[in-house]
Amino acid sequence: MTASTDTALDIAATVRAGTRPAVDVVDEHLAVIEALDGEIHAFNLVLADEAREAALAIDRRVAAGEDPGPLAGVPVALKDNLCTAGVPTTCSSRILEGWRPPYDATVVEKLADAGAIVIGKTNLDEFAMGSSTENSAFGPTCNPHDTSKVPGGSSGGSAAAVAAGFAALGLGSDTGGSIRQPAALCGVVGMKPTYGRVSRYGLVAFASSLDQIGPFSRTVADAAALYQVIAGHDPCDATSIPEPVPDVRAGLVEGVAGLRVGVVTELCEAEGIQPDVMARVRQAIDALEDAGAKVDEVSVPAVVYGLTAYYLINPAEASSNLARYDGVRFGLRVDAPTTGEMYDRTRTAGFGAEVERRIMLGTYALSAGYYDAFYGKAQRVRTLIIRDLDAAYERFDVLVGPTAPSTAFPFGAKTADPLTMYLNDVCTIPSNLSGHPAISVPFGTGDDGLPVGVQVMAPALGEATLFRAAAAVEAAAPRGKEDA
Amino acid sequence: MSPAGTTATEWETVIGLEVHAELATRTKLFCGCPNRFGDEPNTNVCPVCLGLPGSLPVLNEQAVTLAMRLGRALHCEVRRSIFARKNYFYPDMPKNYQISQYDLPINVEGRLELPQSGSRVGIERAHIEEDTGKSTHVGGGGRIHEAGYSLIDYNRAGVPLLEIVSKPDLRSADDARAYVSELRAILLATGASDAKMEEGSLRVDANVSIRRPGDAFGTRCEIKNLNSLRSLGRAIEYEARRQIELVESGGTVRQETRHWNEDEGRTGTLRTKEEAEDYRYFPEPDLVPLDPGNEWIARVDAELPVLPAERRTALADAAGVAPNVTAVAIAVERRLDGLALAAIAAGGEPARVLTHVEHNLAVEGAEALDPAGLAALASMETSGELTATQAKEVLVEMVASGDDPATIAKAKGYEAMGADELAAAVDQVIAANADQWTRFVEGDDKVRGKLTGFFVGQVMEATNRRADGKAVTARLRERAGV
């Protein structure tokens, strides 16, 4: 059994043309999942019946001569923190045991409108807190390139599903790098849109001012196609950007001649960046220059404080967002004689160690007397990072650097010390703090033969330029070593 | 004025009020569920107001408009505000945080004028926040700790509230009651709230402290569970007395939240300052800053109705009385000032018009009364065609049937009694009650006062209530030569 390597655009083209039934596409992917997911564990739940039913409906529309949508028949792996009506949505946490949302996330509705088919709900670090999926209450996901290694996280399930050919597309959420880092480790494309570009309605909140939903795919063109479907204003999300979404697909073939590319010194020299990873990044930068881009080094001084600021803002918001898991209305309840004890027992039984850690950190950071020193100062750092990035974008159209410091690491390598795990996000966090779009594009492998990702960043609403630069990186990427 | 009994002159009570008013919006603050009182429990709910994972709040524009309208009516500055999360756990609060406003509220620095005393009470802020659900604790006397189980109705969760915080400018229970009545009148006039204390759409917490006049403020206690104006007044009086007794016996007041027990007529400790929650406020990341801008503020100002204070002034001016006359306040409170003004404009004698509005029109349909009819009624009284008693009965009929007073008076047989006829009737009654008459003539004012009632009653009976009481009294005094 080999994994399906068809791109989403190929699948949609054949399904729309009526030359390949959507139900066949789904069955082929289900067969691959059936054969391989026992080892990979990308999915918390495979929606075989629902996916086949949806495929049959697509096929009926095609037969009736109706437009089945731009992503007709394309299987999508959905991160299990996106709400699906009537279908369990767990966030890979015990605390949501038995909960079925009564509504679909806006992105799920948009997928259905586009003819895409949700084939399953994918594993993640509990409530998206982590960088390896090891924090899932249902066990970790394995990296399809080497099952002794992590797939990254928190959207490790979606990244692995796309890498393993379980689905042509995936959706994840990126709070501090949770799409881009697993994309890098699994050798796929992963993109975080501008904050507010994609509605968060129906995304189970982790850190609301940082969370953003974005695509996984095996090609940049597929990522752009999925972005085009999910982006746009949503009246159900007050932070959603009301401006129309320009078509980002047309520019993919335009090349990067004349594009001003800044290489961020502080990200390339960040703590723990492996030399073999950096060598690939340099190779990608050279390729952009060869393709006509104007490349220069740029210093963005405040990004070195990004990790610290992030690990105050993120737990602070998380501690509040996760307060609703109290056993009163939904999910797990461990009964007790008093309401207070019921809260304690439910939350103790329902949350894993990392979630508890963030709740405690965040509660502390927001406490009276500490707010200014922690949360307040972190927000000021955030303002500084935005200011420094804005200054850089006056001189450059896009910025580049590594996505993750290393290639995929072995299970257990970073679980003992949370700080070493947090350092995985050092290159991805600045874009979350600034709200800017960023993408990770696979670019060859490290010394261990595992994938390396190159990160491209753009200013707010600069997605068209972002995808254009990403396509150029993709075109220059070395081939044939992914299965090494 | 002070509730403190014998020590009234030595201690001053200082009161600040926090009033929660439910805004009279069509839908809730952050979702499209109906904002309606009294529906079947848990029928007006959705993922947003139930705080389900993944749901997000979207601000209700009408709630903002109503909040601004009240703010402007209280002469507040309306400014750019941000929402904040107030974090604490309680089962009837779906998200275990309340979306409120903290350091940047929408309305700041306003004032309210008390109708009777005319003194100005500062308004510190009036901010927007969401209401919680409603818990019913079953068994154990309705207290959460002893309850067998609790039921929660989330229909109220997410209903928009305006929290109006006064400065500590009130000095007595009467002040506090007057403040809440006037605030209620403004809420009603602006349409911001239906302001029903009995349904909980208007709720009051009182901060009470005591001090020697001129001293710095004392330590305050916050009193909760004040469900009526009566409770508010009683609780403040009790609490001031408690604090005075405590201080005078050598103790010190502890800052704490206290619960008013209506049945026992006393306040009791709910939680001390040390037990107070740390709400861990921080800016609500799911909402963007609210900046109404000058245009919206100007629109609110333009749509602002005439406020109770202005209405009182207008009526008082027309009637030639002071604005703090009770009848004027009542007319405005019952929204009968328009009727009164029109009746006066139509030639109705102001004193009689105000008397009717104050005493005889606390009935349904009064506002629909024809002002010309009311004016005519007043004229019939001044001309002596109708007695006060008859006029009152005619008025009842006017409200019920809509007929004019002359028609009703005729139908009731209320014909004017000529002066001669009245004099004859009085003389007859005097003749029939010679003993009482002697005592009337020879007695002092007190005796005469008592007997006046007797004679008037006798004349009324003899004339089938057609006689005017005042005219009878005048005739009696004339005959007695006093």
B337-369 pLDDT, tens digit each: 999 999 999 999 999 999 999 998 888 888 889
Which of A99, A237, A316 lies nearest to residue B56, judging by beta carbons?
A237
Per CB-CB distance under 8 Å, the chain A contacts of B47 are 101-103
Answer for the pair A384, A444: CB distance below 8 angstroms, yes or no.
Answer: no
- Residue-wise pLDDT for B5-37, tens only, equals 444 468 999 999 999 999 999 999 999 999 999
Determine the pLDDT at residue A482.
43
- CB-facing half-sphere around the CA of A224: CA atoms within 13 A: 23
The whole-angstrom distance between B292's CA and the closest CA on chain A is 15
Determine the pLDDT at residue B416.
66
Any domain includes A153 = yes
Residue B74 and residue B50 in one domain? yes
Residues β-bridged to residue B226: B204
Q: Record the tokens describing residue B470, joined without a space.
A: 């005042």
Which of A236, A328, A343 lies nearest to residue B58, judging by beta carbons?
A236
Is B89–A363 a contact, with Cβ atoms under 8 angstroms apart? no
Residue B189 and residue B219 in one domain? yes
Per CB-CB distance under 8 Å, the chain B contacts of A326 are 89, 91, 96
Domain that holds residue A62: 8-263+273-299+391-476
ipTM given for this complex: 0.96
Query: φ, ψ for residue A244 (rounded to 5)?
Result: -65, 160
Q: Is A238 on the interface with B (CB under 8 A)?
A: yes
Examine the fold and report which residue of B264, B283, B301 is the final residue of a domain before the chain moves on: B301
Q: Record the tokens describing residue A395, joined without a space.
A: 């001189």
Is A371–B282 a contact, with Cβ atoms under 8 angstroms apart? yes
Any domain includes A92 = yes
Determine the pLDDT at residue B337.
92
| Residue from A87, A210, A321, A383 whose CB has the most chain B CBs within 10 Å, to mutate | A321
Is A199 noted as a catalytic residue in this protein?
A: no
Residue B319 and residue B171 in one domain? no
- Residue-wise pLDDT for B245-283, tens only, equals 999 999 999 999 999 999 999 999 988 887 778 999 999
Per CB-CB distance under 8 Å, the chain A contacts of B285 are 207-209, 239, 317
Any domain includes A358 = no
Q: In this structure, what CATH number is given to the domain that contains residue A416?
A: 3.90.1300.10
- Which residues of B have a CB under 8 Å from any CB of A? 47, 50-59, 85, 87, 89, 91, 94-97, 144-145, 150, 152, 278, 280-282, 285-288
Answer for the pair A230, A215: CB distance below 8 angstroms, yes or no.
Answer: yes
- Judged against a pLDDT cut of 90, whether residue B118 lies above it is answered with no
**Mean pLDDT, contiguous 10-residue spans, chain A (484 residues):** 78 97 97 97 98 98 97 98 98 96 98 98 98 98 98 98 98 98 98 98 98 98 98 98 95 96 95 94 98 98 95 97 96 93 97 98 93 94 97 98 97 90 93 98 97 98 98 92 41
Examine the fold and report which residue of B261, B276, B301 is the final residue of a domain before the chain moves on: B301
Sorting pLDDT into bands at 50, 70 and 90, what band is B162?
Answer: very high
Any domain includes A335 = no
Is B89–A202 a contact, with Cβ atoms under 8 angstroms apart? no
Residue B156 and residue B12 in one domain? yes
Determine the pLDDT at residue A479.
81
Q: Record the tokens describing residue A93, joined without a space.
A: 């946490």
In order of A270, A389, A402, the CA distances from B455 in angstroms are: 107, 97, 108
Order of strands, sheet of A189-192, starting from the edge strand that comes earlier in the sequence? A43-46, A117-122, A75-79, A169-173, A213-217, A189-192, A438-445, A451-457, A398-402, A260-264, A294-298
Non-local (6+) Cβ contacts of B422 within 8 A are B459, B463, B467, B468, B471, B472, B475
Residue B59 and residue B183 in one domain? yes
Determine the pLDDT at residue B352.
92
- Residue-wise pLDDT for A331-353, tens only, equals 999 999 889 999 999 999 999 99
Determine the pLDDT at residue B142.
64
Sorting pLDDT into bands at 50, 70 and 90, what band is B141?
Answer: low
Residue B100 and residue B224 in one domain? yes
Residue B34 and residue B164 in one domain? yes
Any domain includes A343 = no
Residue B406 and residue B423 in one domain? no
Examine the fold and report which residue of B356, B377, B411 is the final residue of a domain before the chain moves on: B411
Answer for the pair B40, B237: CB distance below 8 angstroms, yes or no.
Answer: no
Is B94–A324 a contact, with Cβ atoms under 8 angstroms apart? yes
Residue B247 and residue B229 in one domain? yes
Residue of A178, A217, A240, A319 with catalytic role? A178
- Judged against a pLDDT cut of 70, whether residue B144 lies above it is answered with no
Domain that holds residue B469: 419-480
Residue B18 and residue B120 in one domain? yes
Determine the pLDDT at residue A481.
46
Per CB-CB distance under 8 Å, the chain A contacts of B94 are 324, 329
- The total of structural domains in chain B comes to 3
User: For all residues of chain B together, what is the average pLDDT?
Assistant: 91
Any domain includes A325 = no
The whole-angstrom distance between B94's CA and the closest CA on chain A is 6
Is A323–B288 a contact, with Cβ atoms under 8 angstroms apart? no
Question: What distance in Å separates the CA atoms of residue B350 and residue B352, rounded to the nearest whole number?
Answer: 6
Alpha-carbon torsion (A335, A341, A345, A346), positive or negative? positive
Answer for the pair A84, A108: CB distance below 8 angstroms, yes or no.
Answer: yes
Determine the pLDDT at residue B422.
85
Residue B243 and residue B314 in one domain? no
Nearest to B182 by CA among B116, B109, B230, B124: B116
Is B91–A328 a contact, with Cβ atoms under 8 angstroms apart? yes
Question: pTM for this structure?
Answer: 0.89
Is A110 noted as a catalytic residue in this protein?
A: no
- Residue-wise pLDDT for B377-428, tens only, equals 998 888 878 888 889 989 999 999 888 898 898 888 787 677 788 888 899 9
b/e string for B383-392 if b means 16 or more Cβ within 10 A? eebbbeebbb
Which of A102, A238, A339 lies nearest to residue B288, judging by beta carbons?
A238
- The total of structural domains in chain A comes to 1
Q: In this structure, what CATH number is given to the domain that contains residue B424?
A: 1.10.10
Residue of A4, A93, A132, A154 with catalytic role? A154
Which residue did the predictor score with more confidence, B444 or A11? A11
Q: Which residue of A has its CA nearest to B147?
A: A338
Residue B253 and residue B361 in one domain? no
| Residue from A108, A233, A314, A339 whose CB has the most chain B CBs within 10 Å, to mutate | A339
